Chain A
Amino acid sequence: MKNQFVNKPVRKKDAMALVTGKPVYTDDIAPKDCLICKVLRSPIAHGIIEEINTAIAEKVPGVECILTYEDNPGGRFTMAGQTYPEPSPYDRLILDKRVRYVGDAVAIVAGDDEKAVDKALKLIKVKYREIPAILDFRTAKDNEILVHPEEDWKSLCPVGADNKRNLCASASDALGNVDEILADCDFVVEGVYHTKANQQAMMETFRTYSYMDTFGRLNVVSSTQVPFHVRRILSNALGIPKSQIRVVKPRIGGGFGAKQTVVTEVYPALVTMKTGKPAKIIYTREESQIASSPRHEMEVTVKVGANKDGKIRAISVYTLSNTGAFGEHGPTTVGLSGHKSIPLYSGLEAYRFSYDVVYSNVCSAGAYRGYGATQGIFAVESAVNELAAKLHMDPVKLREMNMVREGMIMPAYYGETANSCALDRCLSRAKEMIKWDEKYPCKDMGNGKVRSVGVAMAMQGSGISSCDVGSVTLKVNDDGFYSLMVGCTDMGTGCDTILAQMAADCLDCDLDKIVVSGVDTDVSPYDCGSYASSTTYVTGMAVVKTAEKLREKICENGAALLQVEKEEVEFDGNRVFVPGGPEISLKDIANQAMCNNTNALEVTEQHSSPVSPPPFMVGMVEIELDKITGQYEILDYVAVVDCGTVINPNLARVQTEGGLVQGIGMAMYEDVIYNEKGKNYSSSFMQYKIPTRLDMGTLRVEFESSYEPTGPFGAKSIGEIVINTPNPAIAHAVFNATGLWFKELPITPEKVWRGLHGKN
């Protein structure tokens, strides 16, 4: 096995199609005669539909059908794209009599064109009985108002859910006696950290089209990260067998977790099922902002205790998470707020992590890059920075003393051992890059301006241990080119290319000899989908296993053709040969496999991992803050990442840079704001500002690689961890400039100004 492509910055296989604007996305390839579907949305945060009159709307020329809760075909289900049985509760219907947030689906209108559908939407008359809404998630637990009082609500997994208490999940996990150890510590810092809902804001909004095929089966083409889960979820929602559904994923215009929830698929699917006609739905940006799958708002209470020499002895984390109107990803995101923050510190005598996840009457939350780790790491890393300040100790030094290192066991991370960990090297390299010792904590620039630095560490996982499944099929075609069929979903990240790089190295061939195709649930091998930072690590390992098996098969066929024993031959990528003896080219083997052959040159292998090795990273930021106005800007952001072996340095770097800027937006201004009636004010890119290229300063990314023994070529994940450092690092830099800790995101200029001027 030569190493020709792994660790090389090769172009993405789809790059030239993308940069020349080829029609490769859902809406570009949808049939022109699709019915246009739109959703009528609830104007109130909580209520019961008492009457819905569609008679006038149905008369609008061009309107095909209007569907309401009376047309609901299946039982309760979850839209969360997770492995069955889903931890997320089965708490929703496609259309329900009860509406649970402003924007909740009330009716589906399908028609020949947008104008007709828009007109019909305006003509549907709905009478609601309003119910008081829970808009502050701190009041949700055991509130007398129930978001899900229904009897057919169900939770499939033991996650501590109880719909009669507005609880979507609840649990606790501990080692030792935290309270006792904390009481014994010289220093204890305690803080309550509040992170808000955020939008993934991928450039391509949610969208799906559907049609009936030759065999009378429902075909669904969707911009999704989870095609196989979509199949199951549609079966649940529509009440039809899974065998009657096929899901195809074309190119996706970004996901970041948003499309790990089945946000739009049910609507055109139901219309096609009812009418037999092709149908499509293209969410507006407004719908993507108000009726989607944003980050869970969390309030994280942290206590960190240490001795005066800086030894951290105990950490306690309690997280209250807001899942909104439905429970998608509620029980699982919250876990990461503790399990991926506490283990950054080793040798704890005790820890405790407990949580409640509550329902409320705002848009259902979902999966967003970082998946709870982002929220927990903001809290724990901020608390550790505050501890360093209390101890009058350099926060880098405090981390050097306490951080997890290679070979250590991480009790708060399911007892896994850090078999690959270069966190120490990441920290020292980042420190060097930003010139920490010169710049920490700050420098007065005159004119009221201060330059300061901040630091944070982060970890994530690589797939969900003992759960995520990746499979690939590799086959040899005429002349010896390969098909690599995958079920994981490239959403722009480049996994199709990365997996081909691995396959090419495993098969000692050129990258161009590998043709990648995915995803079509009828033909692709099963993969849970691209989420939880799983693809490179889990599906990548499936590539390695499959290629090994395929090599054996190639040798078997080659040996048979050479009329020698299989054990005698070798395969070098081009030919099967007996050293010093006869040989046959792969081309000949491949072509002869198409005539009078019984040993198919095709292999499918599956991989699942009992562990989820964490990637690690360090982020350091330098800001300039105006102490008069409170405004600050990012000057320089340094990130050093240990994702194990870097499979494609360009793609890994861009992943990192993209994650950093999303994190910067979250830290500085991204905020989903609701008014007192539960209406989402952040309903457009005019009101929900994401960073432009003028807002990110300079980003500098480097890699310090460890070697992960359980990963393909030593690789771990990269996709999610990269969003986790900006929040605590920026909060830290703001502290170093102002002496003030900001524990609620985003940290806006006005908040800083209020702090500096002693205003509330």
Chain B
Amino acid sequence: MFSFQQYVLAESLEQAYELNQKKNNVILGGTGWLKLGKKSYGTAIDLSGLGLDQIIETEEEFSIGCMVTLRQIELHKGLNDTFGNACKEAVRHIVGVQFRNLVTVGGSLFGRFGFSDVLTCFLAMDSYVELVGKGVVSLEEFAKMPYDRDVLVRLIVKKDGRKVSYQSFRNQSTDFPVIAVCAAELQNGKKIASVGARPARAVLCSVENEDWTKELTFGSNMRASAEYREFLAKILLQKAWEELA
């Protein structure tokens, strides 16, 4: 379990950002990942009081506050209607309802975890993150950025008419994915996919070419070998296209 000296319920994003510049401070998301560590922090910064726990849908986009839980994503009708239940499919295998009622979109994305279903899912959409310091950055760029002291405010997902399918492979139904693929067919017919749990930060790639996985790196761990993951990525992409056809 992690520990900290002080707790601050942030009154503004600016205050949160300011506090977070100190290396030993930390922003609290759903604390699902933080609690696995044994680190001792100075100040824990809570964004719970800033009204960032809402999904706001407009004609053009979804604005998803950083404190929105995975369960909210799972149940949001607009999101799931727009993207063919891809969001629901991406999160419904994650541990259990009680866990998904806690862990947040902000925490999941900011962590850019090598196993992340959430990052993989939104990466295949026209997504952006709003950061207090850097402003709005595309999720694709954010996924490649090194960790810094910025504060993630919200995720913005554009309704650009793309069709999306989320596929993952697990050894046991609530385990981390062995591999995750989110495929998207853009309105102009272009096909792309994000691949996560390789196990490494999800990346977006072009999948026009038969050998598309060759540009990606896959790794081995106790769940599967790199070779198996690469094979599965191809199969999951096929499944995604079948689902979208």
Contacts and interface: CB of A to CB of B under 8 A. Distances in A.
A689 B171 contact: yes
Interface in B170-217: 171-176
Interface stretch (A299-307, A369-377, A501-509, A691-699): A691-699
Contacts of B231: 629, 753
Interface in A47-83: none
A689 B225 contact: no
B169 A753 contact: no
B222 A695 contact: no
B235 interface: yes
Interface in A609-638: 628-629, 631
Interface string A737-749: 0000000000011
A224 B232 CA distance: 45
B13 interface: no
A285 to B, nearest CB: 12
Given A628-B235, A629-B235, A687 B172 contact: no
Nearest to B232: A629
B173 A692 contact: yes
Interface string A624-665: 000011010000000000000000000000000000000000
Interface residues of B, number: 17
Nearest to B174: A692
A634 to B, nearest CB: 11
A22 interface: no
Contacts of B227: 759
Interface string A672-701: 010000000110001101011011000000
Given A628-B235, A749-B171, A673 B222 contact: yes
B136 interface: no
B171 A669 contact: yes
B228 interface: yes
Contacts of B175: 689
A222 to B, nearest CB: 25
A689 B171 CA distance: 9
A612 to B, nearest CB: 36
B172 A695 contact: yes
Interface string B210-245: 000000000000101101100110010000000000
Contact of B224 (A673, A694, A750, A759): A750
Interface residues of A, number: 22
B195 to A, nearest CB: 16
B231 to A, nearest CB: 7
Given A628-B235, A629-B235, A750 B173 contact: no
A748 B171 contact: yes
Interface in B133-151: none
Contacts of A687: 222
Given A628-B235, A629-B232, A629-B235, A694 B225 contact: no
Given A681-B222, A750-B224, A750-B228, A691 B235 contact: no
A97 to B, nearest CB: 28
Contacts of A692: 172-174
A692 B169 CA distance: 16
A689 B172 contact: yes
A22 B225 CA distance: 46
A750 B225 contact: yes
A541 B172 CA distance: 42
A694 B173 contact: yes
A486 B113 CA distance: 53
A687 B172 CA distance: 11
Interface centre among B3, B171, B174, B225 (most CB of A within 10 A): B171
Contacts of B172: 668-669, 689, 691-692, 695
A694 B97 CA distance: 13
B93 to A, nearest CB: 9
Contacts of A748: 171
Nearest to B225: A750
A21 B175 CA distance: 28
A749 B228 CA distance: 10
Nearest to A687: B222
Question: Which of B172, B227, B231 has most chain A Cβ within 10 Å?
Answer: B172
Contacts of A631: 169
Contact of B174 (A628, A694, A759): A694
B46 to A, nearest CB: 22
Contacts of A691: 172
Contacts of A686: 36, 176
A748 B170 CA distance: 11
Contacts of A115: 3
Interface string A720-756: 0000000000000000000000000000111001100
A239 B176 CA distance: 48
A629 B36 CA distance: 32
B5 to A, nearest CB: 12
Nearest to A759: B227
Nearest to A749: B171
B174 A629 contact: no
A658 to B, nearest CB: 17
Nearest to B221: A681
Contacts of A695: 172-173
Contacts of A694: 173-174
A681 B232 CA distance: 24
Contacts of A629: 169, 231-232, 235
A690 to B, nearest CB: 8
A627 B175 CA distance: 22
Contacts of A754: 228
Contacts of B36: 686
A629 B172 CA distance: 14
A266 to B, nearest CB: 26
A754 B225 CA distance: 11
Nearest to A673: B222
Nearest to B227: A759
Contacts of B169: 629, 631, 749
A686 B3 CA distance: 21
Contacts of A681: 222
A689 B170 CA distance: 11
Contacts of B235: 628-629
Nearest to A750: B228
Contacts of B176: 686
A691 B173 CA distance: 8
A629 B231 CA distance: 8
A727 B70 CA distance: 36
Contacts of A682: 222
Nearest to A757: B231
A675 to B, nearest CB: 9
Nearest to A684: B36
A362 to B, nearest CB: 16
A672 to B, nearest CB: 11
A195 B224 CA distance: 19
Contacts of A689: 171-172, 175
Interface string A108-142: 00000001000000000000000000000000000
A249 B38 CA distance: 33
A753 B228 contact: yes
A748 B221 CA distance: 14
A695 B3 CA distance: 35
Nearest to B238: A628
Nearest to A665: B172
Given A631-B169, A669-B172, A682-B222, 7 more contacts: A115-B3, A629-B231, A668-B172, A673-B222, A686-B176, A692-B174, A753-B231
26 contacts: A115-B3, A628-B235, A629-B231, A629-B232, A629-B235, A668-B172, A669-B172, A681-B222, A682-B222, A686-B176, A689-B172, A689-B175, A691-B172, A692-B173, A692-B174, A694-B174, A695-B172, A695-B173, A748-B171, A749-B169, A749-B171, A750-B225, A750-B228, A753-B231, A754-B228, A759-B227
Of all A-B residue pairs in the complex, the 9 with the closest CB atoms, nearest first, are: A694-B173, A689-B172, A750-B228, A689-B175, A669-B171, A692-B174, A750-B224, A673-B222, A669-B172
Interface of B: 3, 36, 169, 171-176, 222, 224-225, 227-228, 231-232, 235
